[in-house]
Structure formats: C-alpha cells, structure tokens
Structure 1
Amino acid sequence: MRPLPELSLLQSFVTVAQELNFRRSAERLALDQSALSRRIQKLESVLGYRLLERTTREVMLTPAGRLFYRRAGEILASTAQSVSEARSVAEGRTGRVRVAYMAFAATELMPRTVSRFGARHPDIALELQYMRTQGQKLALANDEIDVGFMIGPYDNSECRTELLASDLLYAVMPRGHPLLRQHQLHPVDLAGQPLILGDMAQWGEFRYRLEDLFSQVGMPLQPRLEASNTLALIGLVAAGLGVTIYPESLIGFLGRNVETRPIVHPDFRSRTILAWKRSNRSRAVLDFIAIAMQRGLG
C-alpha cells in the first residue's frame, strides 16, 4: 500500500490545477517555482502516476489529474472543517455535556445551572437524563455521563466532587396531624410514627442516608409503607397513612394536601453534590462545572 501524500503536497497541486500556471501558483503559495515543481514531482512519485502535462507554453491536467483535483479539493475542505470544528470543541464554544440528575436537584440546582450555561454557551448541546445516585456512579465510571447531580458524600479516587447544597430534612405530614402543633421537630418526635418511605429500588441512596442518621440517635427506620415515586409518597401521606421525610429543596413542590415541619438536628441534612471524573478535561464540561459551583444562581 502506497503512503498517503502530505497535505502540503495536495494544497500545492490544487493551486496549480486551479491556476494552470506555475508562476501564479508559486506566488499564491509564497514559494519559488523550483520548490513548487519539486512538490508536484514528489506528489506524482508518491501516487505513482502523472497529474500534469507541462510544456514550455502551457500546463494541463491529465485525466487522472482531473479526477484527483476534485477529490483533493474535497479532502482539503473536509480537513479545514475538521480543524475548525475541533478548535471550537477545544475552546469550549461547541460540543456537548451529558448531565445526570436525581430528584433533589431537579427542581432548582440542575435547571438553574442549565439555564445559565445555555445563556453563555448556546452552541453547546446539553443532554439531560434523570438517574438515581447509584446509577450515576456507574455511568461516570463507564464514561456514559460527564457530570452528575447526586446525593453525597461520594468518595472515589477517580472522581472529583463539589458540595452544592446542604438541605434541612423535613417531616411531611397530612393536614391536621398532631405534630403540626410544633413549629419544629426533633428526631425523637418521630418515634412511633408510621413512616412512608421511598423503596430501595428507586430511593436506595436516600434510604441509606436516613438509616445512618436515625441509627445515630438510636431510632431504627421501620417503614410502614414504601412507594417508588414522589406522587405516590405524597398521596399516601395526604391520605393519612403516615409521615415521610423530604429535603428542603422539594418542600415547595408538595402541593396543598400535606404540611411540613423541619427536623432540628445538626446532622439531619441531605447533601447534593456535583461529581465528575478527574480525567475529563473537556472545556465545555469544565465550564458547566464552574457555573454549577457558583452561588446565588438566578
């Protein structure tokens, strides 16, 4: 298999094919005519066939030269476009960022970051995917996403994380519940209350966090009912079947059939973090991370 010609040889040939004059071609390329002639000879040697017929009076393309001129022009145009597109990606002006988010980031943190990023980088595509925290960890490891809004903390030597929010935990109760007489609750106030919690399949990471917190105060979690989605959880609570626990970020989206009280304890918080692989040096991804880390997003 013959080696492929250098781009500089292709550019020289295309210029000669356009001008059909070595003097004018040499001027366009800022070369002397002898150097240009050597380039054409080298290109023909690499290809193994003649491209030009040259006399003292004129320069003409051979049949092979006419076909090669069309293809060489396409190659040069495609190469220039590829260089330009790659430069845009390298400079963070175009490209894509694959973003995963869990429920607690879906109402404020993720949408506000996406809004601000889109305003600054309109030509960068954002691919959003709802994903549980455990799924995000696997997706990061497999390079299926670039960044993830997940429940923290997360310790992994291959990833970096940034704390975005530390939300108070709230007890969510049906209207008229006796605990609503108190302006705030302590964990012990929930002892003996029937709990309605998200199931382990969909809410596993949050359940692990709650179990750790309640075990620290000597109260094992024993849910009366489990549900897989927010609507079902709130519906069961509104029906008077028990109490659930939500982070502050979701409190404003619960509707009018339930009421809430904060759980006062220094450790009873839900932490939302942003995670990404240390090896991901995409300019677009790094810009997205920088915007997500800004406080006071509006």
Structure 2
Amino acid sequence: MPALPELSLLHSFVTVAQELNFRRSAERLAIDQSALSRRIQKLEANLGYQLFERTTREVLLTPAGQLYFRRATSILADCARSITEARSVAEGRTGRVRIGYMAFAATELMPQAVMRFGAKHPDVALELQYMRTQGQKLALANDEIDVGFMIGPYENSDCHSLLLATERLYVVMPRGHPLLRKHQLDPGDIASSDLILGDMTEWGEYRYRLDDLFNQVGIALQPKLEASNTLALIGLVSAGLGVTVYPESLIGFLGRNVEVRPIFEETFRSRTVLVWKRTNRSRALLQFVDVAKRRGVSR
C-alpha cells in the first residue's frame, strides 16, 4: 500500500485546484509561492503522476488531477468532520453510555437518572439493558456496559462504587394475612411464616443479602416456594401461599391483592450502588455518574 500524503499537501493541492492560480493560492495559505510549488511537486512525486498542467498563462488540472481533487476534497471534509465529532465525544456533548440495571433500580433510580441526564445532554445516546447484579459485574469486566445499577455493597479494586440508596425491607403478604394486625414486623415473624423467595438463578445476589441479614439475628431462611420473576412471586403471595420480602422501591408497584408491613430492624435494608470501571474515563459516562449521584443516599 503506498504511503498516504500529508494533510498539508492535500490541503495545498485542493486550494490550488480551486483557484487554478499559484499566487492566489499562496495568499490563501499564507505561504510563499515557491513553498507552495514545492508542496505540489512533492505531492506529485509521492503519487507518481502529474496533477496540474502549467503554462505561463494558466494552470489546469490533468484528468488524474480532476479525479484526485474530488477524492481529496472528500477526504479533507471527512477529516474535519471526524475532528469535530471526536471533540464532541471528548467534551461529553455526544457519544453513548451503556447502562445495566436490576429490578430494584428500575422503578425510580435508573429512570430518574436517565430523565435528568437526557435533559442536560440530549445528544448523548443511552443504551439500557436489564440484567441481574452478577451479570452486570461480568458485563463491566468485559466492557459490555459502562455503568451498572447493582445490589450492593460491591467492592472491587478495578471499579468505583457509589451508594445511591438504602431502603427499608418490607414483608409482602396476601390480603387478610394474620401478620397484618401488626403495624411493623420483626425478623422472627417472617421465620414463622411460609416464605416465598426469588430463585437463586435470577435472584442470587438478593438472596445472599437476605441470608446474611437473617443469619445475623440467628434465623436461617428456608423458603417454601421459589419463583424466577416478580409477577410469579406476587401471584403466589396473592394466592395465599406465603409471604415474601421486598425493598421499599418496589412496594408501590405490587398491585391490589397484597399488603405490606415494614421490618422493624434497622440493619434490614437493601442497598443500591452505581458501579463503573476506574479505567473508563469517557466524559459522557462521568457526566452520567455526576447526574445519577445527585439523587444521593435516601430512605
């Protein structure tokens, strides 16, 4: 493959091709006419063919020069456009942010961050992908997403982790359940009830957190039934087959056939963290993180 000419040579050639006059072209380029002639000679030598026909009266493009002028004009336009577009990405005005999120962030944290970010940075594309926490960790490691809303805490030397929310846990029960006589429940109330939980395949991270919390107060969770998604869990609860435990962010989306009571134990909380790789210095990503973290820790 022949060596590509320098952009300065291309720019000089295009200017001469437009003016068909070396004096005027040199004035436009702010260089000596002799220096411009040397540039054109160098370009023709590099290419191996003549671009201009010169006489004492006029300068004309050769047939090869005419074709090369059209291509060179396009190349310079593409180069200028790429510089502008890359500057926009570097400054965070355009680009994309790939976002992973799990169920507990889907109702408020993620949508609110996306809404606020879109208002401030309308030309940055946001790509949203629902995935459980463990999947987000793998996706971050493989550079398949830029940032993730995960169940926390999460400690990894390769990543930044920012606590966005800490939520009280609630017991979700069918209407008319005996525990509804109490305004708030303690962990022992859950242990004495038939328990329905998400399965380990889809709800593994949350199950680990719940097991840790209940183990701290001497209770080993033993679910009677398991399900893979929220609709099935709530359906089983509303059918009177048991109770489940959900964080506060989902309580408003459970429907009319279940009721809830908070767990009166200060440590029984679910945490949502925002995680991104330390090596990812994309301006658009950092702007998204800045918008998302203004939500702050709540509940």
**TM tier, shorter chain?**
over 0.9
| Pairwise CA distance, 1:296 | 6.8
Q: Distance in 1 between matches of 2:110 and 2:176?
A: 34
- Give the aligned partner of residue 293 of structure 2: 293
Q: Distance in 1 between matches of 2:190 and 2:23?
A: 91
Q: Distance in 2 between matches of 1:206 and 1:2?
A: 59
Do residues 218 (structure 1) and 195 (structure 2) align?
no
| Pairwise CA distance, 1:5 | 0.6
Matched residue pairs, number?
A: 297
SS of 2:89's equivalent in the other structure is: helix
- Give the aligned partner of residue 139 of structure 1: 139
- Give the aligned partner of residue 164 of structure 1: 164
Contact 2:164 2:296 in 1 (8 A): no
**Stretch moving more, 120-129 or 185-194:** 185-194
- Give the aligned partner of residue 229 of structure 1: 229
Q: Distance in 2 between matches of 1:225 and 1:169?
A: 19
Q: Tell me, which stretches of 5 or more residues in structure 2 are unaligned?
A: none
- Give the aligned partner of residue 76 of structure 2: 76
| Pairwise CA distance, 1:19 | 0.7
Q: Percent of aligned pairs with the same residue?
A: 77
Taking the TM superposition and a 5 Å limit, the aligned residue runs for 1:148-159 are 148-159=148-159
| TM-score normalised according to structure 2 size | 0.97
Aligned letter for 1:56? T
Taking the TM superposition and a 5 Å limit, the aligned residue runs for 1:50-61 are 50-61=50-61
- Give the aligned partner of residue 282 of structure 1: 282
Q: Distance in 1 between matches of 2:136 and 2:190?
A: 31
- Give the aligned partner of residue 183 of structure 2: 183
| TM-score normalised according to structure 1 size | 0.98
- Give the aligned partner of residue 36 of structure 2: 36
In structure 2, relative to structure 1, the CA distance for the partners of 1:79 and 1:120 (3 Å cut) is same
- Runs of 4+ aligned structure 1 residues displaced above 4 Å come to none
Q: Tell me, which stretches of 5 or more residues in structure 1 are unaligned?
A: none
Q: Distance in 1 between matches of 2:296 and 2:287?
A: 17
| Pairwise CA distance, 1:191 | 2.1
Question: Over aligned residues, Cα RMSD in angstroms?
Answer: 1.1
- Give the aligned partner of residue 94 of structure 2: 94
Deviations 1:137-168 (A, max 9, x none): 00000000000001001111111010000000
Q: Distance in 2 between matches of 1:290 and 1:161?
A: 13
SS of 2:26's equivalent in the other structure is: helix
Q: Distance in 2 between matches of 1:237 and 1:20?
A: 83
| Pairwise CA distance, 1:2 | 3.1
Aligned letter for 1:187? P
